Chain A
Amino acid sequence: MSAVINADEARTLLAASIAGQLPDKRGRFGPFGGRYVPETLVPAFDRLEQGIAEHLHTDDFQDEFQSELRTWVGRPTALTHAPRLSERWGAEVWLKREDLAHTGAHKINNAIGQALLAKRLGAKRIIAETGAGQHGVASAAACARVGLPCRVYMGAVDIERQAPNVDRMLRLGAEVFPVETGDRTLRAAIDEALREWVTDPAETYYLIGSAVGAHPYPYLVRELQAVIGTEARAQVIAQAGGLPDATFACVGGGSNAIGLFYPLLGDQDIQLIGVEAGGTGSGLGQNAATLATGTPGVLQGSYSIILQNQDGNVQETHSISAGLDYSGVGPEHAFLQAVGRVKYVAASDDEALAALEELCETEGILTALETAHAYAAARRWAAKNPGKRILIGNSGRGDKDMPTLTQYPVRTSNNAAA
């Protein structure tokens, strides 16, 4: 299998993508994607694929889903103009406020959508994995809403650094299962959730939290998250009078980014920029900049770009943000990079921290550490491209990051340590 796409193929594939024809029948975005799962799960994936075809785009399902998005999640989320940040950057900055969605991040769009689907497919219980805890909280809330028991797999390292979210999940009635194997972060949590699913593929529904994994998950998650970009596109036209010049979103697995970017792919004048975790440096293991430094491979069900060593073992990663601390990335992002439609860059831990504080003091918004990476890259871009309109996916709020943030001195100008 070759991950190299020539210029003619790239044009054809991008056109197919914009026309809504990808993934193809085999779950592929060009060469990326597919379904690499144990034989025990093959019938479960077939059922899921069939269930999606049967329900997802019917009026009946969409009425229920849209109603839940409106009256329970609180959509549409606001598009906020950021005048003070704009002035500092010499740009016109607009924020798509997924932090205002119920449970504090975009994750809820996918969680409630899949929980409703699971109910229709007759699932008896739901399992989910979580990194930062936002998907765990969203899954716990969605399961409570639809009345299904929920177990969340979470790496022991993440349980420690995202303690407030663990408590929220427990109060929402979910069971939190600590994962002590592997790297004890998101990747190990996904492995463990898959192992659990293998023991009960018929009655358990695996509610995956990002646009990763085997087909049809990357497609399903994109369809459920595309509400972000669809809303943002209409809002920015109505409020700003036109489309943005550039759009930024952070990328771990890539669900908020694909949700924001996908409805904008056809607007080819908009530069789309995904921002990965640059961690503490460019060396292997110091970051989670998968698309910038990774190579093609198969991890957790799909062929994508992954961080791996020369022997094909998956590399551990580092990021200050648990939600970006992942060695893989959704296959559609690998595809969008390969065909040249989206550019992927990295922002470091320090840049993300500085950007988080700048947004706090200019606009009164405490954003998530994950999201702060998008601001850091947008700030750099604005410095080189003055006077442009910029849309930023403000994917989540930062309250959950307080245990991490309190380890660093306050830098906000009024309160900075002397």
Chain B
Amino acid sequence: MQPHERIGAAIAAANSAGRTGLVPFITAGYPDPGKFIETLEAVAAGGDVVELGVPFSDPMADGMTIQRSSFTAIENGVTLRWIFEQLAAAESGIDTPLVMMSYLNPLMSFGYENLARRARETGVCAFIVPDLPYEESEEIRLALESQGVGLIQLVTPATPDERLAMLAGASRGFLYAVTITGITGGDTGLPDSLADYLDKVAAVSPLPVCAGFGIRSAADVVNVGRHAAGAIVGSALVEVLERGENPTEFLKALR
């Protein structure tokens, strides 16, 4: 099994067990770089796939919560290089498939071939790059795929139908359905038209569809789970970490 195929398998396993796949997001090394692996293990135990955020100086698709966690992590010395080193050194090993979320520039700076190799070595099965539309993605996509690592595509309620079909076909791992027209961490609630939108996305996607943005509670996960294979929980979890609370309890409540 290629690394990117582990992601769909993990979501499918959750669905077979009668659950919505849960994809928790954390900003790597936040709030305390010294507890990164410990936090990651706790989150991995409560999720089916973990999305790991690489902090960036200009997170233009993110709301206040993830901006804050990014800036704090950067100040504390968290870099892509450091994240790979920590993952490589983690003694217990983390079985849950990891997906890395990063803006393009840190990845470009690291070098795509090196990136793909390090990802494969450290259990990173796919990447989500929020400022990289498909049309600009060929170089990094081919480099990642040469190591069996996927590039996850995002679709949004603003995506026209033809483009939706193209992106669904191009995605690897899962297809990321952005629930709202907006940035992460919104508190406006999920839109009424969500069910129709997610059903439409699921109908064209050969991969499991995971919904993200604005999913904050067990009720949201249930709501989304009726129309999508998985739910991505980001800002709400980062806020739990920000308050110094236990992520295990929070994630258990979501399952």
Listed in ascending order, the chain A residues whose CB lies under 8 Å from chain B are 1, 26, 34-40, 42-44, 181-182, 187, 191, 194-195, 198-202, 297-301, 306, 308, 310-314
Contacts and interface: CB of A to CB of B under 8 A. Distances in A.
Contact of B158 (A43, A299, A310, A314): A43
Interface string B102-117: 0011111110000000
B67 A300 contact: no
B56 interface: yes
25 contacts: A1-B139, A34-B136, A35-B135, A36-B131, A38-B61, A38-B130, A39-B130, A39-B178, A43-B160, A181-B71, A182-B67, A187-B58, A191-B58, A198-B61, A198-B181, A199-B181, A297-B109, A299-B58, A300-B60, A310-B109, A311-B109, A312-B110, A313-B79, A313-B105, A314-B58
B158 A40 contact: yes
Given A297-B105, A313-B56, A313-B57, A37 B131 contact: yes
Contact of A312 (B107, B130, B163): B107
Contacts of B156: 39-40
Nearest 5 CB-CB pairings of A with B: A312-B109, A312-B106, A311-B79, A313-B57, A199-B182
Contacts of A1: 108, 139
B169 interface: no
A37 B156 CA distance: 13
B60 A191 contact: yes
Interface of B: 55-64, 67, 71, 74, 79-81, 104-110, 130-133, 135-136, 139, 153-156, 158-160, 163, 167, 178, 181-183
A359 B117 CA distance: 57
Contacts of A300: 58, 60
Contacts of B67: 181-182
A313 B249 CA distance: 34
B110 A195 contact: no
Given A312-B105, A313-B56, A313-B57, A195 B81 contact: no
A169 B218 CA distance: 45
Contacts of A298: 104-105, 108, 131
Contacts, number: 110
Of the candidates B55, B62, B133, the one having the most CB atoms from chain A within 10 angstroms of its own CB is: B133
Contacts of B105: 297-299, 306, 308, 312-314
B58 A181 contact: no
Given A187-B58, A299-B58, A36 B104 contact: yes
Contacts of B56: 312-313
Contacts of A194: 60
Nearest to A1: B139
A43 to B, nearest CB: 5
B66 to A, nearest CB: 11
B58 A182 contact: yes
Given A191-B60, A199-B181, A39 B106 contact: no
A165 B35 CA distance: 47
Given A182-B58, A199-B181, A312-B108, A42 B159 contact: yes
A2 to B, nearest CB: 10
Contacts of B80: 311-312
Contacts of A39: 130, 133, 153-156, 159, 167, 178
A195 B57 CA distance: 15
A182 B182 contact: no
A167 to B, nearest CB: 28
Contact of B131 (A38, A43, A306): A38
A40 B107 CA distance: 21
Given A195-B183, A299-B105, A312-B105, A43 B135 contact: no
A199 B62 CA distance: 11
Contact of B60 (A34, A44, A195, A202): A195
A202 B131 CA distance: 19
A313 B56 CA distance: 6
A370 B166 CA distance: 46
Nearest to A40: B156
Contacts of B110: 312
Contacts of A312: 56, 80, 105-110
Given A298-B104, A312-B106, A313-B74, 8 more contacts: A34-B136, A38-B131, A40-B182, A306-B105, A311-B80, A312-B56, A312-B80, A312-B110
Contacts of A308: 105, 109
A152 B236 CA distance: 29
A401 to B, nearest CB: 27
A198 B183 contact: yes
Contacts of A313: 55-57, 74, 79, 105-106
Contacts of B158: 40, 42-44, 201-202
A202 B157 CA distance: 11
B108 A297 contact: yes
A202 B108 CA distance: 31
A200 B181 contact: yes
A211 B135 CA distance: 22
Contacts of A44: 158
Nearest to A26: B135
Nearest to A38: B61
A264 B105 CA distance: 33
Contacts of B130: 38-39
Contacts of B106: 311-313
A191 B74 CA distance: 17
Nearest to A43: B158
Contact of A42 (B63, B104, B163): B163
